[in-house]
């Protein structure tokens, strides 16, 4: 058996949902997680409340495989929160699957987290020295301990007190027996949106309330029939309870650091993230790339799926025809029986296959959203060339990635990032492309609407981090080596 090779991409951190005031809360949470599956394919969980007890189900695997009708029937109540995960901190194991549920001196609490706390190790060490016992290796559990140990008397105050002690990226949904909380960190690293499923006038007369929902991306609202209302603001805590919706700011205003990679790669093109349609950013990235790095060619071919919208923009701007010259197999599992006679680039061939009739004899521009380690890019260039392409020109719709992310993205260390160790020309030689070009930092920011809202975090491209808590060893200059 051989493990299916992961395409050389940053991993999509996590996705969270929350539902308040619906008899089918757990089903709506499940559907919301299904729409957010691209943000994490490792484990998923839902906690529901029937006003008396919290009910939980967590498992490894994909959302549709975990939550059968029988499982959802065991998650009753009108409140639910859910989480789909790719590990950013903590081992990949069911133990670290979320939501995390605890019964503490503040009552029953369930919590799900998208992001990464950069000072979690320091806080955890202090808490353990003071006698706290941790059940998981996830940084999210630190928040639960801080809430439980807060001297504040009410739960909203205890949550606010805990959040002021942590630093980094966090979009959180929390739940008690009768309330849902939605929170974003003061810098607004990760997205979190609020939506509403309105009741009819007749239902309202009978005292029924609208269903309030929260999700990491607005695409989750479309599937459950909710309308987007607004983003949860940076530093804001929204509380939904029997008395309705209330809001407060738990921290002073800080410079904004929205993750620009949400627009480059993570978020689905049909989502609106940080107030901007993702599809508009992706197409603009491609158009800007065509202006900055033109080349004479016959066809523009995306590396699917993430390169598709940028490739459409590049094609529209350059006038060079767009073609699906690589076809992606969406039904790839984790392991495969590899033939005894080794197949070169087997892992990539499982996921991508060239269309020889489109590529043969053509000068091809390959468009991808990023080059991380360079290993997959090299294999794709070789695959396209072997399919008969006359020339292969590689274009990337973001700048060279030179630094790891500490804000909820599973990035390799600096020594594994090819752009931290090689020049653009050396990367071109490594991949075997006839030419290679990245989008400029200014071009990327312009394409993502930086002029309208100058608030993006671009630390993975610049090495300039917006928080002081970072792993110093990770950001030391990587030793340059040549192959």
Q: Is the pLDDT of residue 271 over 90?
A: yes
Which has more confidence, 350 or 50? 50
pLDDT at position 409 is 79
| In-domain check, residue 294 | yes
Residue 376 and residue 421 in one domain: yes
Residue 158 and residue 304 in one domain: no
Mean pLDDT over all residues of the chain? 90
Which has more confidence, 197 or 206? 197
Residue 478's pLDDT band (cuts 50, 70, 90): very low
Percent of the chain at pLDDT > 70 equals: 91
Stretch (H or E) spanning 324: none
How far from 12 is each of 42, 166, 281, CA to CA, in Å? 11, 22, 18
Catalytic site includes residue 104? no
353: domain CATH number is 3.40.50.2020
DSSP class of residue 237 equals E
Contacts of 341 (CB under 8 A, 6+ apart): none
Percent of the chain at pLDDT > 90 equals: 73
pLDDT at position 453 is 67
Domain count across the chain? 2
> Domain of 288?
279-331+346-459
Within 13 A of 209's CA, how many CA atoms are on the CB side? 16
Q: Per the omega criterion (within 30 degrees of 0), is the bond before 305 cis? A: yes
Pairing of strands 43-49, 54-60: antiparallel
The counts of H helices and E strands in the chain are 19, 25
pLDDT at position 301 is 98
Could you tell me if 370 and 9 are in contact, meaning their C-beta atoms sit under 8 angstroms apart?
Answer: yes
Rounded to two decimals, what is the model's pTM? 0.91
Residue 365 and residue 455 in one domain: yes
Burial zone of 41 (CB within 10 Å; 0-12 exposed, 13-18 middle, 19+ buried): middle
Q: Hey, CA dihedral for 222, 225, 230, 236, is it positive or negative?
A: negative
Residue 301 and residue 447 in one domain: yes
pLDDT tens per residue across span 159-178: 999 999 999 999 999 999 99
| In-domain check, residue 476 | no
- Strands (E) located in 6-95: 14-20, 43-49, 54-60, 79-85
Q: Is the pLDDT of residue 118 over 70?
A: yes
Residue 88 and residue 221 in one domain: yes
Residue 191 and residue 320 in one domain: no
- Identify the three-state secondary structure at position 154: coil
Q: b/e per residue, 77-102, with b = 16+ CB within 10 A?
A: bbbbbbbbbbbbbbeeeeebbbbbbb
CA separation for the pair 1, 10 (Å, rounded):
25
pLDDT tens per residue across span 136-154: 888 888 999 999 999 999 9
| In-domain check, residue 477 | no
Residue 244 and residue 295 in one domain: no
Residue 4's pLDDT band (cuts 50, 70, 90): very low
Q: What is the mean pLDDT of residues 331-360?
A: 79
Q: Is the pLDDT of residue 91 over 80?
A: no
Residue 248 and residue 301 in one domain: no
């Amino acid at each position: 058996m051989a493990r299916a090779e992961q395409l050389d991409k940053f991993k999509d951190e996590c996705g969270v949902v929350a539902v308040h005031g619906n008899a089918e809360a757990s089903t709506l949470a499940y559907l919301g997680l299904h729409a957010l599956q691209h943000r994490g394919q490792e484990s998923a969980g839902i906690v529901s409340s029937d006003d008396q007890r919290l009910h939980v189900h967590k498992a490894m695997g994909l959302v549709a495989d975990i939550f059968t009708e029988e499982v959802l029937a065991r998650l009753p109540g009108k409140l639910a929160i859910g989480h789909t995960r790719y590990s950013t901190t903590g081992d990949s194991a069911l133990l670290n699957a979320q939501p995390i549920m605890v019964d503490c001196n503040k009552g029953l609490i369930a919590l799900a987290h998208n992001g990464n706390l950069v000072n979690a190790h320091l806080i955890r060490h202090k808490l353990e020295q003071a006698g706290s016992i941790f059940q998981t290796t996830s940084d999210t559990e630190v928040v639960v301990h801080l809430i439980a140990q807060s001297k504040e008397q009410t739960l909203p105050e205890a949550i606010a007190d805990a959040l002021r002690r942590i630093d980094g990226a966090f979009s959180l949904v929390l739940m008690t027996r009768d309330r849902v909380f939605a929170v974003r960190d003061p810098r607004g690293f990760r997205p979190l949106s609020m939506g509403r499923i309105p009741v009819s006038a007749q239902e309202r007369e009978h005292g029924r309330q609208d269903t309030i929902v929260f999700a990491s991306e607005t695409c989750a609202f479309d599937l459950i029939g909710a309308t987007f209302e607004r983003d949860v603001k940076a530093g804001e805590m929204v509380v939904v309870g029997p008395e309705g919706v209330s809001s407060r700011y738990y921290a002073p205003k800080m410079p904004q650091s929205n993750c620009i990679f949400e627009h480059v790669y993570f978020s689905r093109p049909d989502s609106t993230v940080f107030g901007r349609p993702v599809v508009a950013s992706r197409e603009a990235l491609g158009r800007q790339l065509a202006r900055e790095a033109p080349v004479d060619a016959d066809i523009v071919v995306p590396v699917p799926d993430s390169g598709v919208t940028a490739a459409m923009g590049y094609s529209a701007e350059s006038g060079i025809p767009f073609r699906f010259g690589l076809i992606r197999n969406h039904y790839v599992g984790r392991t495969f029986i590899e033939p005894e006679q080794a197949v070169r680039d087997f892992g990539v061939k499982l996921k991508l296959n060239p269309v020889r009739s489109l590529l043969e004899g053509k000068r091809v521009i390959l468009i991808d959203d990023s080059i991380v380690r360079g290993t997959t890019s090299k294999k794709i260039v070789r695959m396209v060339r072997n399919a008969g392409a006359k020339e292969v020109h590689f274009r990337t719709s973001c700048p060279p990635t030179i630094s790891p992310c500490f804000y909820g993205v599973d990035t390799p260390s600096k020594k594994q990032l090819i752009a931290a160790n090689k020049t653009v020309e050396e990367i071109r030689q490594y991949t075997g492309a006839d030419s290679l070009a990245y989008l400029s930092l200014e071009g990327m920011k312009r394409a993502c609407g930086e002029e309208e809202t100058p608030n993006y975090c671009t630390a993975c491209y610049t090495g300039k981090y917006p928080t002081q808590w970072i792993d110093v060893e990770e950001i030391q200059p990587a030793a340059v080596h040549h192959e």
